[in-house]
Structures are given as C-alpha cells and as structure tokens.
Amino acid sequence: MNQDRQEVEATNQSSPDWSRQLIRPIYLPNGRILRNLRDAAECILERAPSPSAKVAAAKIIEVARNRGDVVTTHAAIRLALLSSRKSTN
C-alpha cells in the first residue's frame, strides 16, 4: 500500500508529458494536424483568448500532468477551435 502511494506521488510530481497523443488526430482546415498535447497547446495559444480556449488550455495542462481525462480534453479542444472559427467568420 505504501509503495502504491509513493508511485502516485512520483507521478504527480513528474514533469508534464506534452508528447501524449490525443484520442484521434484533429484535422484543421489549413491542413495542419493536431496529434498530441503539444500540437494542441500551440494551436490553442495561437487563437484569440476566449472562454472555450481557456478551458481547453486548462484541460490540456491537466492531461499533460496525468490528472485529466483525454476524452473531455479532446472535446474541449474541438469546441475551442470551432468557437474561434465562428468568431472569425
């Protein structure tokens, strides 16, 4: 039991894993493909600040730190991208 707790604490203290893959690639209209958390984070940071972009950024960080859910993060990224497309049209 003590060893399990040490492993969890070690995981929580480890550096973020930005190379972690998304559940499936996200294809953007400009031909860019988001395959991992680094790609997604860079793309979100390039967008204008918005509530959905802030949520997506927070979710990406949680998953990179092994604390979040990849499925909800993927959905948050797609929503932020869709919102930014609608605001520019």
Task: Give average pLDDT by consecutive 10-residue segment, the chain, 89 residues.
Answer: 52 81 96 98 95 97 95 97 72
Question: Which pLDDT value is given to residue 54?
Answer: 97
Amino acid at 1: M
**Total-model pTM:** 0.79
Tell me the three state secondary structure of residue 67. coil
How many whole angstroms separate alpha carbon 33 and alpha carbon 36?
9
How many whole angstroms separate alpha carbon 37 and alpha carbon 87?
24
Question: Which pLDDT value is given to residue 1?
Answer: 46
Distance, C-alpha 28 to centroid of its chain:
15
Question: Which two structure tokens, joined as six digits, stand for 12?
Answer: 């929580």
